[in-house]
Structure 1
Amino acid sequence: MRDERTPPPVRHDALLRALTRAVAPRSIVEIAAPGASGAALLLESAGEPLRSLELVGESSGGVASELRASAGDRVRAREGLSLDEIATLDAAPDLVLIGHDPDWNGIFHALRLLARLAGTAPFPITIVRDTSGVSPEKPELGTGKNGLRVALDEFRAQTAHPLDLVFVPGFHGLAILVDPRRVVGNDALSSLLRELATPPSIRALLDELEQARVDAQLELAALHAKSDRRAAERAELIGRLAEQRRALERTERELAEALERAQRNALRVIEEEAARDSIETRATSLEAALRDAHTRIAELTTANERLAAANARVAERERTLDDLAAQLAAARRRAMSEPLRADVAHTLGRDPSTAKKPGGSQPATPFARALAGAAPKLLEPAVLELASRRLAKLRRDPKLFFAHSRFEIARKLSRLL
């Protein structure tokens, strides 16, 4: 694809059209540079007399396909190397346009192949582009053995064909090789060639103008190259900036991730501190509960001691009740026997005969005295049964049991009896 800043190749359209019409060729060969084909102009200018248009070049297939829509089979493409394809032509054409291989080697050998094809017949009218001193794309073309003008002059010196060289200045120059035998009888071609003959003074002026134009184009090419370098530098800077932006974005992401981690760590520290405070509060509560438990244990220990003392008292009262029950049982048994009175006297601690006498001795203990008061009734079985039930009630009611001393129990028992 051609750079948009590069102007399209100058094809000298008006001159090519005039030459083609003047020659009225039946066969044309174009050796075209890619993207610089003049085949459409040649086909249009040649008209009906044209029988074949051979396009030689690696990119000629596409152009030939487009032209076949209007010219049919008259257009053929040869997509090999230009020198190889020229060597396979059947005969020398009437008109040749060379725009490919703009160097000494390509031009010189292409002309030799055309001369071989022509044999003794007139050499084809050959148009060669870019034959001026300097090309902005290839400045070396106008110097030394690379110069196209040198190739044309050397070929004219070596070939057996009598050839005239017509040079048209301007736009890198256009050279026309003309065999005088083709001009004979062709007034249009003869008149056109006379018009193209340039006086020396005009040629010098045109050469100066062409050199100025080439210099300007070279300067423009240098500016384009500089612009390309600036564009490349700008692209490189943009690439670096994009890379720095990506690095900055990565850094921002890393900072955001680090900040998020720091926030999570801070939150975890706060939670740990709160948990530690809660643990300390809980420990304080547990310590208070432990102190309360110790106090409660002490209270329970005291209560256990009191309970043990109460149990001891209960055991003592039980023993007392057991003694009373045993005495009642013994009294019941004695009440059923004859020697009851003697047993009562023994229980009272004195002889029965003295119990009725005034001034006799009294029982030794309050309990014995209370029992002595109840002795007459103890002889009755019903009274003994009632006393047993009362004693059982006292045994079942600890409050009643603990509320009275042994003497009071005996006295209440005496009342019951």
Structure 2
Amino acid sequence: MLSQPTIDIIKSTVPVLEVHGTAITRRFYERMFSRHPELLHIFNHANQKQGRQQTALANAVYAAAQNIDKLETILPVVKGIAHKHRSLGVRPEHYGIVGENLLAAIAEVLGDAATEEILEAWKEAYGVIADVFIGVEANMYAAAEASEGGWAGFRAFRVQRKVRESEVISSFYLVPEDGRKLAEFEPGQYVSVRLDIPGEAHTHIRQYSLSDAPGRPYYRISVKREDAAGDRPAGKVSLYLHEQVTEGSVLWLSAPAGDFELNRHSDEPVVLISGGVGLTPMVSMLHTLAEKQPHRQVTFIHAAQNGDVHALREEVEGLAAGHEQISVHWCYEKPTERDRAGNRFHQEGYIDLAWLRSVVPGAGADFYFCGPVPFMSAVNGILEAWGVPASRIHYEFFGPAGSLKGAAAPVHP
């Protein structure tokens, strides 16, 4: 337990963290990687370059400081981060490295404002926070290994099938090389894929949502090819998967993880909303609802640029055709002539509140959504404007957790 003086000091630094948080975390990563380059085998380099990881850590530190006297209130956030850590292979010994470099970064960025008293308080507080993470992650490691079909670390999987789903998305059907049973997972969860790409100095690890239902003799991931666009570089991992990985290739996977899960204990209507490749966890949820809760009303909404990049469309429509409680709706921002000729979409342009209300039975459903951050921010804003309670709004970030500042604006992927 932290002493009251320590709590008071930590809380007094909240305004400083609000202003300097990202500068501190940026310096923290620079410092840590220069002293411990082996950690570059764990962290996502693209998120580092784009500043997403620094912002996510700054937000987490800020939240911890705000709630230092009631850390139980941020336990859901802790669990979400812990799932990522477990899937990446973060271990207790890494927390000492993080703590040392975080405190040093605070001292460097704040200068004389970082008094000895403040640094000692943060050292004590970090120790308590780290112990919480280590404890939660220890339970997750144990559960992943002990579950039927589970495993520790990374396990070899063979690509049984590779299927082109659209111009930009391909699915990989993965079966374990050892022939042993597969661990169950909750629809909405992901696996980490570890790759050693020829010519790359460091290992790359990426999380991909499982895009089929639990209980299959394989895991399926559906990956978008990330080509270079504007200032955004091409995705090294996605290009490697699309261009170099073929049927018969071996990939290394962590056991399924993640806290974005379908509530299967409810009979309330469900609305699944996705943009772009964000449909992958939604398709897993849809399959599960069709198989396990065929009486439950489901509205599936997907936004894409057009039909050429719309993946898994026939699969979803096939599920809807066999289950009258499922309705599907497509929103295309820039439909092609083929889309128009075949009446292949239901809304042109963007998702907005008026259209959403016309296809969803009511605001009393459970809403799940995933996609690019601007898309999710707009969806969140629409649901808030509609008056949907926060307890019924569920979403997943691809990559480090961000912030959704909702506004009832048009939505596109």
Which protein, 1 or 2, shows the higher relative CO under an 8 Å CA cutoff with sep ≥ 6? 2
Larger Rg: 1
TM-score by length of 2: 0.24
TM-score by length of 1: 0.24
